[in-house]
Structure 1
Amino acid sequence: MVAAGRHGADGRAPVVVRLWDRVVATLRDRMRRVRAFGGLAAQAGLAAALAWFVAHELLHVSQPIFAPISAVSTLAASVGQRLRRTVELIIGVAVGVLIGDLLLLLIGTGWWQLVLIVVLAIVVALFLVGSAAVVVQAGATAVLIATLSPSIRDLEIPRFVDALVGGGLALLITTVLLPLNPLRVLNRAARPALDLLATQLDATAGALAERDADRARAARSELRQNKGQVQAFVEATQGAREASVLSPAHWRERHGPVSRYAQAAEPIDRAMRNSGTLIRRSVTLIEDGEPVPDALPGAVADLAEAVRLLKRQFAAAVEPNRAREQALRAVRAAGAAYREGVGFSGAVVVAQVRTTVSDLLVASGLTQAEANHLVRGIFGELEAPGVPRRD
């Protein structure tokens, strides 16, 4: 009776359990997000307060509203785009002030003058830069100049001062007072992408060993969800470079682990795409009933372990020698599977193991030529399955 009451005769209880699990997972993800980006809130609060204090108390701007706004706007930009955002704020303000003042002098004020001023400011901003941030700032500044200048004298100078103070203090806080750790930024961004890749490669290895096409399809579907994670990693490389260049505390890291880690984003992206092909052909291999040599699932599992080792050694800021060795084990196993005998799709899987290993070796810091040379040497002879070798 207890079991029946818990699980329900109509099957509703399992639905409730799944719903509860989903709620818990969502809360866990959101708490992880707060922990990951909680530092941004502290930076934004400090930047807003300092911007207002400097503009109002030191530079005597009577209503420095835009200074804290520009500081928060700079910090809200993607990590790695904050210097650019500050420059865009200043350019946008400059365009808006120039166009607004010039047209007010020529055509005066009114509703149709406001239309013309805003349109022209945005068109000029698009022509000069084309950035959305510049366009927004130019249009907003033009509106302020056209509507407030007749009643507030010398509005242009405070607007410039606010942009400079807000953007400058935001950069000061993120690079000197509360600087980002570039290696931590990269680790935090790379971990989801690399974990996803390793997990789905492991699932594919299991699917090949058990001839389970459904499991391989599930791995393929999961890996297709990686676009956002890879993009976050690419953006993080920009942030790490910016932090290591602008922050004196991290200048020494510019040419060390941070540089190598940042350069790994592109080959890791390629490894993701090549692994997608590997998993897709694994599905076809199983569906078509092609032979699966014992070494083939092992090669894919070795590849998954190489991804995990690369993640751990990047995070520890050490030379990823163990990851390279593990990746080459995957190539050796793939070569053994190829010579044991594979079908058409199996040969594609073997080729994708080789290609993905080459990508991981490049991500580890080797050149493409070095990676290709190692892969060819470890793989061995490329003799066709079932064809005797010629003496």
Structure 2
Amino acid sequence: MALQAGIAAVTAWLLSHELTGNPSPVFAPLAAVGTLAVSVGQRVPRIVELVVGVALGVLVGDALLSFIGIGPWQLGLVVVMSILAAFALSSRAAVVIQTASTAVLITTLSPQAPNVEFSRFVDALLGGGVALATAILLPVNPLRVVRRAAGPALRTLVEQLTETAAALCERDIERAIRARDRLRGNQEELRVLREAVAGAREVTRLSPLSWRHRHGVLSHYARTAEPLERAMSNSGTMIRRAVTAIEDKEPVPPAMINAVLALAGTVRTLRDEFAARREPHDARAKALQAVQHAGAAYGDDIGFSGTVVLAQIRTTASDLLVASGLSQAEANRQVRCAFGRLPDPSQQARRSGPTGKGADHPRLTPGASAGRL
């Protein structure tokens, strides 16, 4: 990103200097860096906003100055009218800012710098065009961008599900409340993930060097964003009911704890399989294990909040199955079939080996710490 910005700034300065004869071009490199600095995936709209904002600022500034002249109060009036005109056309902040700043330049510099309107237009086009060309010719690795963005969101979900399982095991209401509050505060992480996916799509659409990433892992991440957001929302509801279950001293059967741990393992495995470019078969199996444990817990003596916890485990598992690439209908079908059907322990033991290593979801014991990615 830093290299992209440096090359774009130099290129925009040189083009503006050579094409317009501007001895000290400022706006062209600013426009180039500003376009690259916005969220990846928004660069083409950013160029449009630059040009629209400049055009509107020139139009309003020239129209008013021809009637009211130049002076301090005229400057204030031009800025107010420019902003109102920009809001009437678009509520996007970038358009409003460009309109107002261009109007200020027209009002203050026109008497000393003729043709500033033309220079501003050309610089906006040059800067935006250079930024777009730089993004195409020197693209960032879209997979690296998405993985970097997905990491915090997935890690947060794994950690708070594991913390919730520990809180249920130990009946530690403060630990459960911390997990609930931490998961509530993940909106910024989800926003970053959504923007990263949109940016990766933009890069793979525009840059021939990144066309090879259009399918495979990137498509997995693109499909993951929305169901992952739903999984986090449903997990948040589940954790809130877990807090209530602890507070009301409801029974917490071991199968319920194992179901929550299985959800955490599902998210962790989903991330690892995507990173390894493998079809997420193991993640799907773990999601269904969570449902099986939830079904087993449903047959035990549980309270009202415990019932809600199990229902949210089912819903979250369905979301994670969709994130793995299944259709919603197929995910729901598999969840319905798996509910209450625990695997044969002897088969699990044979898969794990004689020492029992590799067991998927051992029950937490008091004092167990939250797992880390």
Please indicate the TM-score interval, normalised by the length of the shorter structure.
0.7 to 0.9
Gaps of 5+ in 1: 1-39, 382-391
Which runs of structure 1 show a deviation greater than 6 angstroms over 4 or more consecutive aligned residues?
Answer: none
By how many angstroms is 1:255 displaced? 4.2
For 1:102 and 1:186, how far apart are their aligned partners in 2? Answer: 46
Q: Which segment drifts farther, 109-118 or 136-145?
A: 109-118
For 2:197 and 2:152, how far apart are their aligned partners in 1? Answer: 15
Task: Tell me the TM-score normalized by structure 1.
Answer: 0.83
1:311 equivalenced with 2:300 (yes/no) = no
RMSD: 1.8
> Would the aligned equivalents of 1:260 and 1:364 in 2 still touch at CA under 8 Å?
yes
Aligned to 1:87: 48
Residue pairs, 1:1-391, within 5 angstroms: 40-177=1-138, 179-380=139-340
What SS class does the counterpart of residue 186 from structure 2 fall into? helix
For 2:300 and 2:48, how far apart are their aligned partners in 1? Answer: 61
Task: Tell me the TM-score normalized by structure 2.
Answer: 0.86
By how many angstroms is 1:98 displaced? 1.7
> Would the aligned equivalents of 2:20 and 2:119 in 1 still touch at CA under 8 Å?
no
> Would the aligned equivalents of 2:41 and 2:196 in 1 still touch at CA under 8 Å?
yes
What SS class does the counterpart of residue 115 from structure 2 fall into? coil
Residue identity in the other structure for 2:239: I
What SS class does the counterpart of residue 28 from structure 2 fall into? helix
By how many angstroms is 1:110 displaced? 2.6
By how many angstroms is 1:313 displaced? 1.8
For 2:117 and 2:16, how far apart are their aligned partners in 1? Answer: 14
By how many angstroms is 1:69 displaced? 0.8
> Would the aligned equivalents of 2:314 and 2:335 in 1 still touch at CA under 8 Å?
yes
Aligned to 2:355: none
Residue identity in the other structure for 2:183: L
What SS class does the counterpart of residue 312 from structure 1 fall into? helix
What SS class does the counterpart of residue 260 from structure 2 fall into? helix
What SS class does the counterpart of residue 272 from structure 1 fall into? helix
By how many angstroms is 1:115 displaced? 2.7
For 2:240 and 2:35, how far apart are their aligned partners in 1? Answer: 42
For 1:312 and 1:125, how far apart are their aligned partners in 2? Answer: 46
For 1:99 and 1:344, how far apart are their aligned partners in 2? Answer: 63
By how many angstroms is 1:380 displaced? 4.4
> Would the aligned equivalents of 1:69 and 1:166 in 2 still touch at CA under 8 Å?
yes
For 2:173 and 2:107, how far apart are their aligned partners in 1? Answer: 66
Q: Which segment drifts farther, 102-111 or 283-292?
A: 102-111
For 1:127 and 1:239, how far apart are their aligned partners in 2? Answer: 28
By how many angstroms is 1:257 displaced? 2.8
What SS class does the counterpart of residue 358 from structure 1 fall into? helix
Residue identity in the other structure for 1:128: L
By how many angstroms is 1:377 displaced? 0.8
> Would the aligned equivalents of 2:136 and 2:203 in 1 still touch at CA under 8 Å?
yes
Identity of aligned residues (%): 58
Aligned to 1:34: none
For 2:251 and 2:31, how far apart are their aligned partners in 1? Answer: 62
For 1:328 and 1:120, how far apart are their aligned partners in 2? Answer: 60
Residues 151 and 309 (structure 1 numbering): CA distance in 2 closer, same or farther, change over 3 Å?
Answer: same
Q: How many residues align?
A: 341
By how many angstroms is 1:286 displaced? 2.1
> Would the aligned equivalents of 2:217 and 2:275 in 1 still touch at CA under 8 Å?
no
What SS class does the counterpart of residue 365 from structure 1 fall into? coil
By how many angstroms is 1:335 displaced? 0.6
For 2:61 and 2:208, how far apart are their aligned partners in 1? Answer: 39
> Would the aligned equivalents of 1:241 and 1:259 in 2 still touch at CA under 8 Å?
no
> Would the aligned equivalents of 2:75 and 2:104 in 1 still touch at CA under 8 Å?
yes
What SS class does the counterpart of residue 249 from structure 2 fall into? coil
